[in-house]
Each structure stands twice: as structure tokens, then as C-alpha cells.
Amino acid sequence: MAMAALKFLVPVAILSFLLWKITPEQWEALREQPKNYGLLLAALGVALMAMSLSFARWCLLVRCQGIPLSMLEAFRLGAISNLLSFISAGSVGGDLFKAIFLARRSPGKRVEAVASVVVDRASGLYGLLAIVSVALLLIAPTAEGEGGENLARIAQAAVTLLIIGTVLTAVLIVGGKPIDRLIHRSETIPKIGEVVRRVAEPLRTFHTHPWGFLWSLVMSVGVQSMMVVSMYLVCLGLYGPDANPPTFAEHFVIVPVGVLASALPIAPAGMGVLEAAVEGMYKVVPAVPTAASGTLVALVFEVVKIVMALVGVVFYWTAGREVRRSLEAAEAAEEGQEP
């Protein structure tokens, strides 16, 4: 009885915390703003499709490691992970739970289990960098002064990281035994060797499934693109043509940069950081000055994410003993205890 009550109260407490984080001023602005509920529902639908595709991507990466995982299990674990991410700083909180669950149920494949989660996160980041790089190269922001300089630096950094990531990934995944020997030798280098091992080891586990990894990158671009479409629909659902909302193409600059900022370990699920980032981007990216509030658009997008977290609540309530034990182990690990 106590466990059943706990399973009910934990997600309710999480969602209550998320709603509490929204200030009265933000609620007031949201109530007063005219809305197109059809477009807002469409935004939720697109976001749900993006979330589903991200779960399918992780399932693909897990299977590439020789770990059996059904699509239903991937959706269940992914949804719970998404729910848990709201109570950890940044947007990576649920990854620990997924890694522990796979490691516990797949003895002898602990490295592969962790690799699937690490590479899944890296794949998502790669998709973001790809979109930011292409968008900033194709769309020349009109901002002058500090805003324009910051965007130029973001573009340069994104392109640089994308090129470095592409080259390193290709070498580590396609490379053969000489690469393994090189990684092994690098471990003797103080400090640097440990970093090399942590970066290289997860990727090397995919050397027998390069096409699976490539598909994960394609799926990541799809996931991030659908999130852009979702926020664009939110913007159109809140603002009509008279407000000169940023264009569809401009949102391909605004949203990925905002999501990158929200991934920093600052606030639970990046809440608050996303609003600030999108508000700043609404001021410097559009070719035509907009009356739309980036803060309000991002806030409604956060509400969309909270609604998506409800899916995790359902899976949490129906979780079996194996999932509950993994959740307990993840909580212990986060607190620095032995799982």
C-alpha cells in the first residue's frame, strides 16, 4: 500500500513543482493572450512525435549493442526518463536511470548499456549542432553590435564543434585495431588519457554497427527539426500576422540555440534558461522586428513539455519491480551512495 501511494505521489509532486515554477505574472500573460487552440494542439502533437522518435533512436542504439529491448520498453523507460529529467539540473537527469536499468538487466554488457545512453545524448547534441550550423549559414541575422557578434560566435563554435565531432566520430567508429591500440596507449597520459578513454570507449562499441549509428544521427536531426516546428506552431498559436512573429526559417536558428542553452546544468529541465535564451534570440534574429514575446512562447512550449511528461506519469504508475529497483539505484547514485 505504501509503495502504491509513493508511486502516485512522486510524479504528482514533480508536476506540482513544475507548475509552481511558473510565476503569477507569467500565468497572467498567458491568460490574457488570444490563442489559436488548434495550432497549440498541433504543436503538442508534433512534440509528441519528436519524443517518440527520440525513444525509437535510443532503442536502435541499444539493439546495436546486442541488448534486447522492445520498442514498448524503450517508450516506457524513455517516458519515465523524460519525467525524471524535470527534477535534475539541465536536461539529462533521466539518463542515469536508463543506464542503470540496462546495466542491471544485461549482466556482462554494462559498458554497452552505458554507451547506448551516452551516444544517444551525443547524437541528440550532434543533431542540434547540425541544425544550428546550417541555419546560421543560410540565414544571416540582421542584428548589429553585441547581438550580431554573439550570433557570429555561436555560428563559428557550432560549425567547429560539428566538424571536430564528425571527424572524431568517423575515426572512432570506422577505425580498426590501430585505433584501439592508440586509445590504450593514450590512457598512460595524465588527465588527458582518462578523457580520451571516456569519449572513445562508448563510440568504439559501435564500430560493428556504423549504419545504425548513422541512422541515429539522421533521426536526431528529425527530432530537433520537429521540436523547431512545435515551437513555431506555439508562436503562431499565440500571435497573429500583426505581431510579425519570426518566420519558420528563423525559428531554425532560435529554437536550437535555446535548447542548447537549456541543456546546461543550471535549472531542472532547463526551465527558465530556455525562456531567457528564446527571448534574447527573438530580439536579434528576426529580419523584421517582432512584437511576439519569446518568453511567453517558450513558457507555453514548457507547458507542452509538462503535458508530455504526463506520459511518463502513466508509465511510472504501471512500472514493475525491475523498474522501481533501477529508480532506487539511480537515486542512490545521484546522492553519491552505493546503488
Would you kindly state where each structural domain of the chain is located, as residue ranges? 2-124+220-334
The pLDDT assigned to 187 comes to 67
Q: Pull the grid cell for residue 65.
A: 549493442
- Evaluate if residue 148 carries a pLDDT over 70: no
- Say which DSSP state 205 is in: T
- 3-state class percentages of the chain: helix first, strand second, coil last, to nearest 5: 80, 0, 20
208-266 pLDDT tens trace = 777 888 898 899 999 999 999 999 999 999 888 888 899 898 899 889 888 877 765 54
27-43 pLDDT tens trace = 676 677 778 899 999 99
254-299 pLDDT tens trace = 898 888 777 655 444 445 677 778 888 888 888 888 888 888 888 8
Backbone phi, psi, residue 213, to 5°: -65, -40
Q: Pull the grid cell for residue 307.
A: 503535458
| % of the chain surpassing 90 pLDDT | 13
- CA of 293: how far to CAs of 12, 258, 269, in Å? 30, 14, 21
Can you tell me the distance from the alpha carbon of 255 to that of 85, in angstroms, rounded to the nearest whole number? 19
* Partners of 90 in beta bridges: 268
Dihedral (C-alpha) 227, 233, 235, 240: value to the nearest 10 degrees? 160
* Partners of 89 in beta bridges: 268
- pTM of the entire predicted model: 0.77
Q: Does residue 152 or residue 211 have the better pLDDT?
A: 211
Length in residues, the chain: 339
Can you tell me the distance from the alpha carbon of 69 to that of 318, in angstroms, rounded to the nearest whole number? 18
